[in-house]
Structure 1
Amino acid sequence: MSHAHPLWLRDARWELLLFGVFALLLLGLGIGLRDPWPSDEPRFALVARLMVEHGQWLFPHRGHELYPDKPPVFMWLQALAYMITGQWRVAFLLPSLAAALTVLALVYDLARRLWNHRSALLAAATLLLTIHFTYQMRNAQIDPLLLGWITLANYGLLRHLLLGPSWRWFAAGCFFAGVGVATKGVGVLALLMLIPYVVARRNHWQPLALPNGGWRWAGGLALFLLPILGWLLPMLLVAHADGDPQHAAYVQNILFGQTVHRYATPPGHIHSPFYFLGIVVVDWLPLSLLLPWALPAWWRRLKRRDARFLLPLGWIVLLLLFFSFSPGKRDVYILPALPMAALALAPLLPGLLRRRGVRLAVFALTLLLAGTMSVAAALAIHRHPAWAGKIEQGLDPQIWWVLLSTGAAGLVVVAFTRVRRAPLGWLLFGGVLWGLYGLWGYPMLNGDRSARNVMLHARAIAGPDATIGLLAWKEQNLLMAQGPVTEFGFLKPWPQQYAEAIAWQRQDPARRWIFSLDDAMGQCVDRHRAIHVGHANRREWWLFKADAVIAGCTPSLAENAADDTDN
């Protein structure tokens, strides 16, 4: 490192340190200033909290029901982070932050070993400032953690296949691919890296390690199974030993319903086979702006049989094909391809960023986003058109000032950097955007997005000693609930929840309230006697006692419009 040619400063080590601090701030500003937000964050945080409270580590729960949709590794790490920090507002975001910083470090280190410090630092910076990466890695979902495991697996495999032979790194790569499977089944896709390697080896591509030793290949692949069995065997043994039919159903669902069945016949997010092309073009900005220049350059290097490009690019193609064949698609499915795309771009970046066409494209992107934010916010503040009213429903109208400040700062950056220093302009604009969003936007949006405000209001209405029953609730309602609460199941049909809630309330009508989604009450609650608690997550919530219940009425099945997706 001491002999590396720096990119900007006099010492490459100081450049790396400065980049690390910038990455930490860009990804971490705002941690501790908000609670989990839908759609997925409250679900995982609730499961993790219940693990800590009740010690159910092998069979996660959402309320009193089992939660079989995902393996528990991500929730385990959130629970561990809570045990270390003692603060859920901090703990629930730490696994994603750790994964993001790890991915950046791995991309830098691998690109440095394959090329040089300059290319590596630009590759890591390009990845960090790509919208899809920054946005997703600031969220507490499983996919950022999965990205971390898959990138660790890819790193280990590439250290062995391109820079080896190194059987320890091969074993590490296989092991982390297995951890990825135990986190979310598709972690096995990291091993697809072996397919372009076989192609390169048969056709004598260079540079390429040519390790022999069949037993070592088999031993490394055996390590792939180790973390999977470390989770799977205790779960299967406990489920078999206790004979609980709910545990048996959980095992069946987690092993088959959430893997093969979900891939072949997904319940939602149905898109065309070309869906991911749009994600690459839009969500991968500004990295995608480089593709018109990068694609021909990659093709020239592939024709020279350069394995440093074939392996990461071939793996990206295989990943895209795998997810394109399934009818169900989400943008996060191809998130693991981003680090490999940045790695393949690394040696091209010093030259690409000097091209006027590239700088002009990045300048136009920064100007467009900053200008759009400024104009939209100014119109919302001074004219307040209908679209602004719909957007800010339930939100603090001051959010427009956050948007205006961000846009105005972006315009100042554009005026300062201009086309000549457009990449620096995007970096500065990204710092302002995510910094203001975390430090100013998080506290402002948190009350509505987390459901904290409605749950505080519900407790203020019911009083400190009353018990609140949750009807047609979402995970954020139980997570943010204050004081004594009960619930009647999450997946049960609303009419069944309603019937159980009313029967429960009749047992102690003076001290029991029901907190309900508006649609779940149907025509069976007199809203003149009920209390409107508030609006949160695009929903209306009510609180009522037994005197508001219309006797003999049950909401019809047609009114059970349960939706397991959130905003």
Structure 2
Amino acid sequence: MVQRIFLTGGWLFPLKSGEEIPSKPPLFHWFGAMTSAALGRINEVTVRFPSALFASLGVIVLYFFGRKMFDAEAALYGAVILATSFGYQSEAISARVDMTLTLFMTLTLVVFYLLYDSSLLWSARGYVFYFLLGIGVLAKGPVGLLLPGMIIGVFLVLTRRLDVVSRLCFHKGVLLTLLIAISWYGLALVRGGEEFFSREGGSVHQKPFCYFFPYLILLGLPWSLFLPFVIGNWFRAKVLADKRSLFLILWVTIVFFFFSFSAGKRPIYILPLYPPVALLIGLWLKQARAGEKLPMEAFGLKFVGWICLCLGFLSLGAFFGFTFKEHTPVVFSAIGGLLKPKDRADFFIVADSLGRTGFFVFFLLLSAVLWFWTGRRLLAKNIRAATAGLGGLSLLTGVLVQGTVLASIAEARTYKPFVAEINKLIEENQPIFIYGEGWDYTSVVFYSGDRVTVIKGDL
């Protein structure tokens, strides 16, 4: 849709596939189109730039929020953790709307808490909160209003501030939120009629309730290794009595269970909970370094430290295995045999790419060194050094995953060379027709420009 805005100027309703009004407001696409317009061209960089910008701003916002809420040390840990979490890194270079929602939801909740904590919510600054709440709806629809509203509402109820709830609901700023949020949907209803709203709330990607539990750990690596101990610490009465920790805990749990109870699920949906998770882990590490008597603190640091040492041995073993390649094909074949056909195809694409680059061997050796070093630092309770080690490991892994693993899959699956050949055969302004909806033709549309017509029908 960024391309359609850039090429046709249809800013308000960039039609999906050239026909349908998008089911969600196009805030992310507006930013992508503005970036493309500023540079005078559209490509992969201009489309992905808003996510990278919003991810960077999210880290900065979290740091200053953590500093105001706790102190500079906890804030720095939290910012480093967020910036180097695997899932957050991945979405920082994606062309999806979720990072946009995450930033504006974070801004909304941060502004609310700071104004509430300083008793400035009812001043003119309070309108900033309502403005951001409305912008959140433009990021990804009603969820941008529901989630912050639920978090704030439950927080105020648990802290026995029902008077604030009523004042929030009847504040003049509500009109500002509604004006921003409803304006686009009202125009979309006029333009698209009942067919537009019939597509709203449609449930796709249906998964079981427990779907997000493994992804919370996997996408939060390596920092999610501390998460069981951080969560265990929440059950102390002292922690829940602290309104700062309570606010962050509610932020995490409400986002997590909201999407867990939703029928439609994708791993990226829980991205908005990573800022508070990062700050909570950062606070736990800060308290651990200060020597505060937290339940299972010593055990938690030692447990993660030993995991790091084990991962160091695994990385070292893999390094020697790839250095002496006689048995590598056998190992790859054994692993591939355990996977589903689609995953198996991707695995062998990646395996072939890794086998042709010397970076992977270097990665394994450097990872082994960092895992050993980090493990020893944790066992010695040197939190600052361990944080630096885990951050370095995450960045190194991100370079491998984004630069080699995902890049090799994308290169094997992209239609860019195919479209380039088509463009050689037909004139620039001639239309291109695509038949069937049983395949992902988005890259064909992107690389072909605004001249593709999709003829619906199953292949």
Counterpart of 2:6 in 1: which secondary structure? Answer: helix
Rounded to whole Å, the distance in 2 between the matches of 1:317 and 1:154 is 14
Which range moves more in the overlay, 299-308 or 137-146?
299-308
Which range moves more in the overlay, 271-280 or 376-385?
376-385
Q: CA deviation digits over 1:409-447, x for unaligned, max 9?
A: 312333555521443222112222323555566765554
Mapping 1:287-366, distance limit 5 Å: 287-302=223-238, 305-352=241-288, 355=298, 356-357=301-302, 359-360=304-305, 363-364=308-309
Which range moves more in the overlay, 391-400 or 304-313?
391-400
TM-score computed with the length of structure 2 as normaliser: 0.80
Q: Say whether the 8 Å CA contact 1:362–1:423 is kept in structure 2.
A: no
Rounded to whole Å, the distance in 2 between the matches of 1:380 and 1:194 is 59
Q: Say whether the 8 Å CA contact 2:131–2:176 is kept in structure 1.
A: yes
| Gap change, CA 1:164 and 1:288, over 3 Å in 2 | farther
Residue 83 of structure 1 deviates from its aligned partner by: 0.8
Other-structure match for 1:367: 312
Match of 1:190 among 131, 139, 148: 148
Match of 1:57 among 11, 16, 19: 11
Other-structure match for 1:150: 105
Match of 1:177 among 129, 133, 153: 133
Other-structure match for 1:218: 171
Q: Say whether the 8 Å CA contact 2:312–2:369 is kept in structure 1.
A: no
Match of 1:202 among 160, 179, 193: 160
Superposition CA RMSD, Å: 3.5
Q: Say whether the 8 Å CA contact 1:360–1:422 is kept in structure 2.
A: no
Q: Say whether the 8 Å CA contact 2:86–2:398 is kept in structure 1.
A: no
Q: Say whether the 8 Å CA contact 1:175–1:226 is kept in structure 2.
A: no
Other-structure match for 1:42: none
| Gap change, CA 1:119 and 1:287, over 3 Å in 2 | same
Aligned letter for 1:487?
A: T
Counterpart of 1:190 in 2: which secondary structure? Answer: helix
Rounded to whole Å, the distance in 1 between the matches of 2:25 and 2:318 is 39
- 1:448 and 2:412 matched: yes
- 1:74 and 2:34 matched: no
Residue 199 of structure 1 deviates from its aligned partner by: 2.4
Other-structure match for 1:231: 184
Other-structure match for 2:199: 257
Q: Say whether the 8 Å CA contact 2:137–2:181 is kept in structure 1.
A: yes
Q: Say whether the 8 Å CA contact 1:156–1:169 is kept in structure 2.
A: no
Aligned letter for 1:78?
A: G
Which range moves more in the overlay, 155-164 or 467-476?
467-476
Rounded to whole Å, the distance in 1 between the matches of 2:126 and 2:453 is 48
Aligned letter for 1:334?
A: I
Rounded to whole Å, the distance in 1 between the matches of 2:317 and 2:130 is 45
Residue 282 of structure 1 deviates from its aligned partner by: 2.7
Match of 1:383 among 317, 329, 349: 329
Other-structure match for 2:295: none
Counterpart of 1:202 in 2: which secondary structure? Answer: coil
Aligned letter for 1:191?
A: G
Q: Say whether the 8 Å CA contact 2:85–2:394 is kept in structure 1.
A: no
Mapping 1:11-30, distance limit 5 Å: none
Residue 71 of structure 1 deviates from its aligned partner by: 1.9
Residue 296 of structure 1 deviates from its aligned partner by: 3.6
Larger helix share, 1 or 2: 2
Q: Say whether the 8 Å CA contact 1:104–1:127 is kept in structure 2.
A: yes
Which range moves more in the overlay, 438-447 or 181-190?
438-447
Other-structure match for 1:412: 369
Q: Say whether the 8 Å CA contact 1:290–1:358 is kept in structure 2.
A: no
Aligned letter for 2:276?
A: M
User: Where do 5+ consecutive residues of structure 2 fail to align?
Assistant: 292-297, 338-343, 378-384
- 1:282 and 2:221 matched: no
Residue 232 of structure 1 deviates from its aligned partner by: 3.2
Which range moves more in the overlay, 276-285 or 176-185?
276-285
Rounded to whole Å, the distance in 2 between the matches of 1:458 and 1:148 is 39
Which range moves more in the overlay, 131-140 or 98-107?
131-140
- 1:431 and 2:395 matched: yes
Counterpart of 2:171 in 1: which secondary structure? Answer: helix
Counterpart of 2:434 in 1: which secondary structure? Answer: strand
Q: Say whether the 8 Å CA contact 1:107–1:120 is kept in structure 2.
A: yes
Q: Say whether the 8 Å CA contact 1:165–1:211 is kept in structure 2.
A: no
Q: Say whether the 8 Å CA contact 1:290–1:352 is kept in structure 2.
A: no
Rounded to whole Å, the distance in 2 between the matches of 1:443 and 1:325 is 33
Match of 1:487 among 442, 453, 459: 453
Q: Say whether the 8 Å CA contact 1:162–1:308 is kept in structure 2.
A: no
Rounded to whole Å, the distance in 2 between the matches of 1:173 and 1:64 is 35
Counterpart of 1:62 in 2: which secondary structure? Answer: coil
Aligned letter for 1:108?
A: Y
- Max radius of gyration: which structure? 1
Aligned letter for 1:181?
A: V
Rounded to whole Å, the distance in 2 between the matches of 1:164 and 1:362 is 45
Rounded to whole Å, the distance in 1 between the matches of 2:168 and 2:415 is 55
Q: Say whether the 8 Å CA contact 1:142–1:184 is kept in structure 2.
A: yes
Q: Say whether the 8 Å CA contact 1:132–1:283 is kept in structure 2.
A: yes
Aligned letter for 2:70?
A: W
Q: CA deviation digits over 1:166-206, x for unaligned, max 9?
A: 345543233222212122121011122222332243289xx
Other-structure match for 2:380: none
Residue 290 of structure 1 deviates from its aligned partner by: 1.6
Q: CA deviation digits over 1:231-277, x for unaligned, max 9?
A: 2344455x2xxxxxxx325xx42x45223xx2xxx23x222222222
Rounded to whole Å, the distance in 2 between the matches of 1:326 and 1:126 is 28
Aligned letter for 2:116?
A: L
Q: CA deviation digits over 1:56-90, x for unaligned, max 9?
A: 22222234322433322211111011011234222
Rounded to whole Å, the distance in 2 between the matches of 1:220 and 1:361 is 52
Residue 315 of structure 1 deviates from its aligned partner by: 3.0
Mapping 1:544-563, distance limit 5 Å: 560=459
User: Where do 5+ consecutive residues of structure 1 fail to align?
Assistant: 1-46, 205-209, 240-246, 495-559, 561-567
Residue 126 of structure 1 deviates from its aligned partner by: 1.3
